[in-house]
Amino acid sequence: MHEYINRELIYQDAVAKGLNKSPQVAMAIANQSHNIIASFGVREILSHAPEEATMKQIYQRSYNKPTTEYKTRHILVGDEATAKQLIARLDHGEDFAKLAHSNSLDTSGKNGGELDWFTPQQMSKEFSEAVAGIKPGEFTHTPIKTRYGWHIVQLLKTRQIPAPPFEQVQGEIIGQWQKEAIANYINSLRRQAKIEVK
């Protein structure tokens, strides 16, 4: 209530000073008006719940698949030359965990470079693709460049996680349906509109 009164007093003072007649204020009001009406347009699109058949289609397409998880260890270094030197040492039989412990730049080094289980979506594309290309017990013979530095990765094991039941991911399915509904709505408006940028 206090805040509402303060805002009203400021508003009345600004009007008394003629600020409501400013072209900048008129433009800001027009922009806010557009935003409010557009947000109600989106709400109207999303006010209808998705049909059961649509939700089942999204589940089949995006969620009804087992997921492969990977257990790895890695050595993270700052440059490619160091990574190649370490790969040469691994090729000569040195222990991966010991090299990770003494050379890795990240905190996993103290655990022999061991990382938690992860899915491909949880890691960078480069890292995930490299891991998918080797078998348990093998390590990458080419250094992998990510935004963190240069990696050498050893795959320890993989496991399959079954697809989650429909009920468990229903909220995520509704979220995906909402994104798709908005994207389809905007695309249909764009197809029908003649857009001129001035």
Sequential pLDDT tens for the chain (198 residues): 788 888 888 888 888 888 888 889 889 888 999 899 999 988 888 888 888 899 999 999 988 989 899 999 999 999 999 999 999 999 999 999 999 999 999 999 899 999 999 998 899 999 999 999 999 999 999 999 999 999 999 999 999 999 999 999 999 999 999 999 899 888 888 888 777 776
Q: What is the pTM of this model?
A: 0.62
The DSSP symbol for 93 reads T
Torsion sign over Cα 31, 32, 33, 36: positive
Mention every residue, 6+ apart, whose C-beta is less than 8 A from residue 110: 101
What is the amino acid identity at position 34? H
Position 198 scores a pLDDT of 66
What is the amino acid identity at position 138? E
From the list 64, 68, 61, the residue with the least C-alpha distance to 161 is 68
Longest Cα–Cα distance of the chain, Å, equals 84
- Specify the length of the chain in residues: 198
Q: Report helix, strand or coil for 145.
A: strand
Tokens of 52: 């059961």
Domains of the chain: 1-37 (no CATH), 67-161 (3.10.50.40)
From the list 141, 105, 147, the residue with the least C-alpha distance to 125 is 147
**In what side-by-side order are the strands of the sheet with 149-161?**
67-77, 149-161, 144-146
Position 195 scores a pLDDT of 74
Contact 154, 139 (CB under 8 A): yes
Contact 127, 106 (CB under 8 A): no
- How far out from the chain centre does Cα 15 lie? 45
